[in-house]
Structure 1
Amino acid sequence: MFSESKFTVIAGAGPTGLTLARQLTRHGVPFRIVEKSPHPFEGSRGKGLQPRTLEILDDLGLLDRFQEAGGDYPPMLAHLPGGGTHEFRLDEQHAPTPSVPYPNMLMVPQWRTSELLADGVPVEFGVGVGDFTQNSDGVQVTLDTGEIVDARYLVGADGGRSTIRKILGIPFEGETHEEERMIIADVLLTGLERGHWHVWPELSLTLCPLPGTDRHQLTAPPSTTSLEDLVAAADPAITLTEIGWRSEYRANMRMASRFRDGHVFLAGDAAHVHSPAGGQGLNTGVQDAYNLGWKIATGDSALLDTYEEERLPVAAAVLGITTHLHQRHVDGAADALRRDDPALRQLSLDYRGTTLAAEHRPAPGTVRAGDRAPDGPGRIFDLLRGPHPTVLAFHWPSALPDFGVPSHNATAASTTYDVTGPTLLLIRPDNYIGCATHDPADITTYLERITR
């Protein structure tokens, strides 16, 4: 159904680049994924996977492995001056529903996320992009090994300091607050129970147990005091026995002014960097890749234009949320650690009103073209799993036409999809509703548009 495969170079083997590699593999698109670092990422950094990301992992057939490797977010335990404690949660645990089977964040250290995504993906470590030039047919990429590669597309998933973005000269607009810094480290320790995410507000120190490991993630402001002494000052019963991966974060909230330049695309941190508040950065990058992968597979330039059209506004909105949460923390708001805004789960992000959102119904319900396709009775996600578009039919009075793609009777999910009469929904390969109609001809036209 997709066009003849074209070679793609992916720069960067973090979660964004690896998700894109998996998408291209599903669609039969040949690629090379290069990573400038000589080895996989070793730290816990982005440790929270949002519900929408879990749905993507489900679609990729990886969710079980991630659930085995991770765990629920533990309750927070604030250690107060004078010896008291206060237990609370970032967000309450939510019960699964027919439309949202994975309603809660899953904690998985970033190194483990990358490891699971990279399983079977031929990453070339110690190889970066040194330069590239574009022509009418694609991109000539010069690797820093001296090798020259002729590719159809180049995707910069190479982080906030993206070489690809800098070569393109795309502005990275926003702010960096040099004075707002934080140490993040993965540590081994003794003398602290692992059932809570421990916080010492007076010291701005946190120790979070990392599921599936024997380590904690430590965060603390930069100080002339050693981390060992800082932890001992918080509680003399706790002893740091090893400091592994360590990094210094600075408040950096920026976004590229565009995500496409000819045959070159930006995704993940190369396109937008966020405060870690709210756990949005890694998740937004994964969704960038999921949006871009199937469009690269079509090789259609007009469809590829919709990547920026759809993802740039989403990145801007997410950046606004995370910046707001970051500022509340800086201001010392009493509830600064709360993460109960439903938008953070990324289930409500939509592409309504964009080029690929074809809503033909005169009276649509609450679920419309451009929205995420929810799960529902009959396990809709099982019907959608795979790299293909899917037609869902509701209350259809006769045999379904042969659209050339999987088509299913989904009437059992009518309430979830807020459908009351004969209706057809075309679900895109990234499991967003592309076309909603009462007329089969609209589905045929839409399929011709996205599979040409």
Structure 2
Amino acid sequence: MKEQFAVDVLICGAGAAGLMLAIDLARRGISFRLIEKAAQPFHGSRGKGIQPRTQEIFEDIGILDRIVAAGGVYPPERLYHNDGSYSDADVMERGKPTSAEPYHLPLMVPQFLTERVMRERLMELGQIPEFSCELVDFVQDADGVTAQLAGKGGEETLRVRWLVGADGGRSLVRHSLGIGFPGKTLGVRALVVDAVITGLSRDYWHRFNDGDMTRQISLCPLAGTHLFQIQGPVPLEGDIELTAEALTTLVAQRTGRDDIQVQSLSWTSLYTMNARLADHYRMDRVFLVGDAAHIHPPTGGQGLNTSVQDAYNLGWKLAAVIQGAPEALLDSYEQERRPVAASMLGLATRLLEAQKHGNMRRGREVHQLDIGYPESTLSQEQPERLDGLSAGDRAPDALIRGAAGHPSRLFNLYKGPHWTLLGYGLDRDAVPSRAGLHIHTFGPHGDVIDEQGHFYEAYEPAMGDWILVRPDGYVGAIVTHENLHALERYLLQVGLGVPGVFNG
């Protein structure tokens, strides 16, 4: 007799990672519960940078316009010098959008606003987080996970197929699994405060004493709010009073100005910076995403973005397996995402060292557009390509036209939970239709037209190439028409081999 599960997936933690996973599962018709130990949503600004790659993801799930409306771009930096003068500069390099990369500017959106937009999207999909609901314990076996929950209605036992720990740096899920979390403490303790401040223009990110780790302080207007974010290092030991009066005094001491007044506080945090990476992202039927898998200094605005992308990578794979794909597909989650986090931790740590010496400039290295999975078992080429776009790379956007002449973009074709197969100079009917796969072809009888050559420039296809794009916007496979058998094997590997098996 087939076992009955309460839901397919239990997600523990309703921050950005948990919300992203919930949205992705909801739009795929997968049953889940999203629980959160806290009594109410997070209300701080902590992860305020939305990088270009995450903007692409937010476009895919239908919230980018709302994210842009909720926040804004980063203001220029105003750096104050010891002689009383100041200089202005852009913190972020301002590249221009291209056909292949439509988003080039990180957005500033306080974390509580980003998560609010994500909760609204989840509600549109018919789901909401359950606050004041805590995972107490769990055991897993070959078929599923039995979880013990404690919530407003008391204790509850829940049987699910899969458990995902999105429960932060002190993850109960990770601790319960006994997964190591090695790394190091970086020797920096800092405060971050959201506050109402008077005496400063909201047109600049104000920075004082750059390069001096005993006197450095920054006051950044938070886009979409009436607040400033105050950031600064503090001594490694001792109590720090986080009141409006005490912070007004601290600001005066570090800026040399008595006209800046902290009127009230919205959120405060005092933390020691660490860089840690979980030894594993999966143990049998349990996964880790976001801060449960990696914690890092905030420099470079990488954390929330990496967490969202963890969930974006895992969501379609979980859904595919639940709907019939081989379970081996899930092995690719840790294989792909753990090296990304390791690289991100290194970048954030290097940027922290640069910031200690007064260098705040941020360029392409933080945009996350160059992240890829070339070594993944899900990245296949037949034959191997020697240059240009490769399997595992981010699938670029391109300006195109439909067969009726209307302007469009590749991202419009990719948007949604499906796979996309692009044929260059090929007959669309050469590959049998199946649920979860959208097929488009360029050529005399195709349904899309590369009028300006943007597709060719970005993808460098040869006549007779098939390019398979994953649901998370990465190139899965590139094969020639003579190697269609390799494509069919690949589709079987991800649950698309038999028409109707996977209803992504």
Please state which band the TM-score falls in when normalised by the shorter chain: over 0.9
Deviations 1:173-192 (A, max 9, x none): 10124x41110000001121
Supply the distance in 2 between the matched residues of 1:395 and 1:376 (Cα, whole angstroms).
17
Q: What is the CA deviation profile of residues 243-265 of structure 1, one whole-angstrom value per residue up to 9, with x for unaligned ones?
A: 11000121110000000001000
Q: 2:428 touches 2:439 (CA, 8 Å); kept in 1?
A: no
Structure 2 unaligned blocks of 5 or more: 401-408, 443-448, 497-504
Residues 67-120 of structure 1 show CA distances to partners (whole Å, capped at 9, x for unaligned) of 111111111001111210011222221111000001110110000011111111
- The normalised TM-score by structure 1 is 0.95
The question of 1:385 aligning with 2:415 is answered yes
Match for residue 433 of structure 1 among 475, 482, 485 = 475
CA contact (8 A) 2:428 2:440 kept: no
Cα drift, residue 327 of structure 1:
2.4
Question: TM-score, with normalisation over the residues of structure 2?
Answer: 0.85
CA distance in 1, matches of 2:491, 2:430: 15
Q: Deviations over 1:15-50 (max 9, x none)?
A: 000000001011111000000000000000000011
Instruction: Give deviations 1:283-306, integer Å, cap 9, x for gaps.
Output: 000000000001111224200111
Alpha-carbon distance in 2 for matches of 1:344, 1:220: 21
The equivalent residue for 1:317 is 343
Pick the aligned partner of 2:247 from 227, 233, 237. Answer: 227
Task: Select between 293-302 and 390-399 the one with higher mean Cα deviation.
Answer: 390-399
Q: Name the residue aligned to 1:114.
A: 115
2:446 matched residue in structure 1:
none
Rounded to whole Å, the distance in 2 between the matches of 1:86 and 1:325 is 21
Counterparts of 1:132-147 in structure 2, within 5 Å, are: 132-145=138-151, 146-147=155-156
Does residue 226 of structure 2 align to residue 214 of structure 1? yes
Query: Hey, what's the Cα distance between the residues in 2 that align with 1:353 and 1:381?
Result: 24
* Aligned position for 1:164: 173
- How big is each residue's C-alpha offset from its partner over 1:155-180, in whole Å with a ceiling of 9 and x where there is no partner? 00000000000000100010124x41
Q: Which has the larger radius of gyration?
A: 2
Matched residue count: 444
Q: Aligned equivalents of 2:9 and 2:252: distance in 1?
A: 51
| Aligned residue number for residue 58 of structure 2 | 57
2-structure distance, mates of 1:118, 1:87:
37
Alignment partner of 2:493 out of 437, 449, 452: 449
User: What SS does structure 2 have at the residue aligned with 1:393?
Assistant: strand
2:74 corresponding residue in structure 1: 73
In structure 1, distance between residues paired with 2:18 and 2:494: 23
Contact 1:397-1:422 at 8 Å conserved across structures: no
Query: What is the CA–CA distance in structure 2 between the aligned matches of 1:400 and 1:71, rounded to whole Å?
Result: 46
Offset at 1:443?
2.6
Aligned with residue 266 of structure 1, among 276, 279, 288: 288
Q: Which residue of 2 aligns with 1:240?
A: 262
Q: Which residue matches 1:284?
A: 306
Q: Which residue of 2 aligns with 1:188?
A: 196
Match of 1:424 in 2: 466
Q: Distance in 1 between matches of 2:40 and 2:463?
A: 55
- Find the residue that maps to 2:234 and give its secondary structure: coil
Q: What letter is aligned with 1:258?
A: H
Q: Distance in 2 between matches of 1:311 and 1:435?
A: 18
Deviation at 1:396, TM superposition (A): 2.4
Answer yes or no: is the 8 Å Cα contact 1:365–1:419 preserved in 2: no
- Corresponding position: 1:250 with 2:250: no
Shift of residue 414 of structure 1? 1.3
- Give 1:397 deviation, angstroms: 6.1
Asked if the contact 2:419–2:469 (Cα under 8 Å) also holds between the matched residues in 1, the reply is yes
Q: Which residue number corresponds to residue 83 of structure 1?
A: 84
Q: Is the 8 A contact 1:386 1:429 kept in 2?
A: yes
Amino acid at match of 1:140: T
Correspondence 1:343-422 to 2 at 5 A: 343-378=365-400, 379-396=409-426, 399-404=429-434, 405-410=437-442, 412=450, 413-422=455-464
Q: Distance in 2 between matches of 1:122 and 1:356?
A: 32
2:456 and 2:344 map into 1 onto residues whose CA distance is 30
Residue identity in the other structure for 1:339: R
The alpha carbon displacement at 1:399 in A equals: 5.0
Q: Distance in 1 between matches of 2:50 and 2:383?
A: 35
- Structure 1 residue 442, shift from structure 2 partner: 2.8
Q: Work out whether residues 16 and 268 of structure 1, in 8 Å CA contact, stay in contact via their aligned partners in 2.
A: yes
- Per the alignment, residue 305 of structure 1 pairs with 331
Other-structure match for 1:9: 10
| Preserved contact between residue 78 and residue 87 of structure 1 (Cα < 8 Å) | yes
Partners in 2 of 1:103 and 1:280 — Cα distance?
Answer: 15
State the one-letter code of the partner of 2:261: T
In 2: Cα distance, 1:271 partner to 1:398 partner: 42
Q: Which moved more, 1:82-91 or 1:50-59?
A: 82-91
Does the 8 A contact of 1:403 with 1:444 survive in 2?
Answer: no
Decide whether the 8 Å contact of 1:11 with 1:156 is kept in 2. yes
- Equivalent-residue separation in structure 1 for 2:180 and 2:150 (angstroms): 24
| Residue type at the aligned position of 2:475 | I
- What letter corresponds to residue 176 of structure 1 in structure 2? T
| 1:238 Cα deviation after fit | 1.5
Deviating beyond 3 angstroms after TM superposition, the runs of 4 or more aligned structure 1 residues are 362-365, 397-400
Structural RMSD (CA): 1.7
CA distance in 2, matches of 1:123, 1:307: 24
Larger mean Cα displacement after TM superposition, 215-224 or 247-256: 215-224
Aligned partners of 2:427 and 2:441 also within 8 Å: no
Q: Are the aligned partners of 2:72 and 2:223 in contact in 1 as well (CA < 8 Å)?
A: yes
Q: Secondary structure at the match of 1:7?
A: strand
CA distance in 2, matches of 1:44, 1:362: 45
1:56 is displaced (CA, Å) by 0.2
Matched AA of 1:338: R
Change (3 A) 1:170 1:52: same
Q: Output the CA distance in 2 between the equivalents of 1:208 and 1:328.
A: 19
